[in-house]
Structure 1
Amino acid sequence: MDIGIAISLYDKFDELSILVDIIRNNWEDEYFISVCSNHENAEEQLKDLNIDRFETGDSINYTPEMNEDRRNINLNNRVLDTFKKSTKGLIGNVDYGVHIHADAWFLSEKSLKRLVENVNNSEKYIGVRGLDPAFRRPKWWVGNLMDQFILFDIEKMSELEFFEFNTFDLLPHTSVHTSLGILLLGKVGWSNVYHYSDFSKDLFWDGSPTGPKPFVRPAVYNPEWDLFHLATQDFPDDLGEEIQAYYLREYGLDSGDYITEFLSKYNRDIDEVNECLHKLEKRQNKQLKRMFFDPYNVGRRFEKRQKMIEENSTLRKAFENIGRDLFTDFMSVLFKISPFPEEMNKYPKDRMVQKQYWDAEWPNQDLSDIYSDNLNLEDYPSEYEIPWDK
């Protein structure tokens, strides 16, 4: 079957060039490549790349200086718009499509084809990774599903008009993951979704597990499907690029003008890179703890951590953090002695879920378990069945 690659981005043109080299010069089969960017100079930037289709996304204003709500709405609308246009570009050209961002790479053609085959054999229409709709918290209402590494049966999704939507209908003030969940549940239905990864096998770039909280940045590697995503802006200096170069070499992805130049520029030993990052992380952890932050909950995004340290290095901020901890600890005790469900106590390290929102839930069951254990089909008409039954 013919497979197409839909790629959306804003201005990560260098990483797009590497990704196109991976597909064109390191994979055996031919793939249709559809790209969408809403950067004003995108078409000029991409004129020399070997792609099959390009469409400019809508011009949606966004700056980091905007207030939080405006910033989130604009950014999520951008992401949804480029997602829609890049994937629609595959219609009529391929049987199956996969959507990724410019900095999210399938490192193995064989694994990509294996995943497409699994989705096809499942007789479902779309393959996704992330936390399924059994997970929720205030920002993520219907799970936390990724808009990258998502696979489509193009004909089926076109029939369902999956790629036809008004971005504002998808509640972009929440998150792009909630928007995707609404789109999936509303137009496809969870019974037609192939859920191939729940983050449990993800690793950070250095091989350490990302759990129990499912971090997807600064860099995540999934060895089961050979997926790799790295946000270079989360790393200091050029250490993110050094890690990208390491993974390219590990998978023998060394052909193509852009990759060749990239590998010649970034060639530090990975142990040296990791040692540098681990020393930085250890130093930042000490600074965060002195300000009464939990380094685990902060995550491993180095640039974000450094910004927090610089912006919170005052006595007043330290007292604010102490007050926050006292409040959340009190709420934790309250939940333990109150008649709330036992599930509230299962994930103590997830402060936002565990300690502040009594109706938030991160169950240890997926949808198939919940419905199989609790649903009585006698309550429904005879034609009903449990669509998630394993």
Structure 2
Amino acid sequence: MRFVISAFTFLVLFSYGAAYDPLDPNGNITIKWDIMSWTPDGYVAVVTMHNYQLFRHIISPGWSLGWTWAKKEVMWSIVGAQATEQGDCSKFKGNIPHCCKKTPTVVDLLPNVPYNQQFTNCCKGGVVSSSGQDPANAVSAFQLSVGLAGTSNKTVKLPKNFTLLGPGPGYTCGPAKIVPSTSFLTPDRRRKTQALMTWNVTCTYSQFLARKNPNCCVSFSSFYNETITPCPTCACGCQNRNNCVQSDSKILSMVGLNTPRKDNAPLLQCTHHMCPVRVHWHVKVNYRDYWRVKIAITNFNYRMNYSLWTLAVQHPNLNNVTQVFSFDYKSLVPYGSINDTGMFHGLKYYNDLLMEAGPHGNVQSEVLLQKDKNTFTFKQGWAFPRKVYFNGDECMLPLPDTYPFLPNLAPPNQLSIPTLIFVLLILSIAIW
């Protein structure tokens, strides 16, 4: 019995730990459901999705939100989104609901839909920015009219079993909870109104649930050592004939190769690490008061463009970033007083799109950092990052004992080069 309890406790702790990110401890997606008015058989609600994650955004083909109705509710209409299936609406005559499924799934609309189908913060193809990168676009919303539901706070039943895909698995949603009603300003911003009823659903992300292997890896190099530390072998899975192609393969000349597939299956360039994305950190220059790092991100996926990509890095000297070239940079302070984490992302219309594998499938920048006299050193791999995240997923780092190391100093009894030259010169004169 004691073993069963211990195993259960471990599983509970692991499930919570898997969704907890130490670099983004408050990161989640909160879905807010506001009832704005009552109808003869239900209500009109505004559903708003807020992405509070600092460096993880929802990429194309976008989010899909599902739930289970508590009773026999139907969607009469929806603005700013659409249900993926109508379901069986045969019992309705005349006015047919938009969706009659007990377990509906809703997706965002594309940007080019007619104006009368749009709603505030809708119609972005399901793409939602991270709050750290672009807070104004870290929200998505739609409006729906629900029928065969309650018509008061006492008779309305909260939906259950919420699911969020963004665009793949990884998110786990908790139960809906009634919260204080949301306040709104009228269009003229002179009067405040209030929702009739509000409930929230919180969804957290776990990389363990999203995929069995990492999605990126990191390699290192430095000016003081010719050795390049590559990504670990099989960092993102091992190579086989079915999941990669050689860079000189004839398949790369096929028409439509770069077209994404419905199952999001990647087409990776064959590498020893088999990762879609590699991040390279190069310690480039050492000045008296500063040091310079070059960061390069390479895409090895022939079927994927990474739009609005983000790169989060943890390193103790990021509290003294002086200048960042060709990337945008924002300091993240997940622990309040410890400023050792920052987020890089591309400049708009310049390098915010990381192209698929090939000649243009990389972006790079340099970072100038001021030295902290008390902590700065090139010894024991201090100059390399502690953690690296690409698009919110943690990348696999090399083992510490493989990092580029400082050259050993000459033994005390070994002749220095000037002394050796002098000795050889004396010997040559004596022989001559």
Same-fold call, TM cutoff 0.5: no
Q: Which structure is higher in helix share?
A: 1
Q: Going by fraction, where is strand more abundant, 1 or 2?
A: 2
| CA radius of gyration, larger in | 2
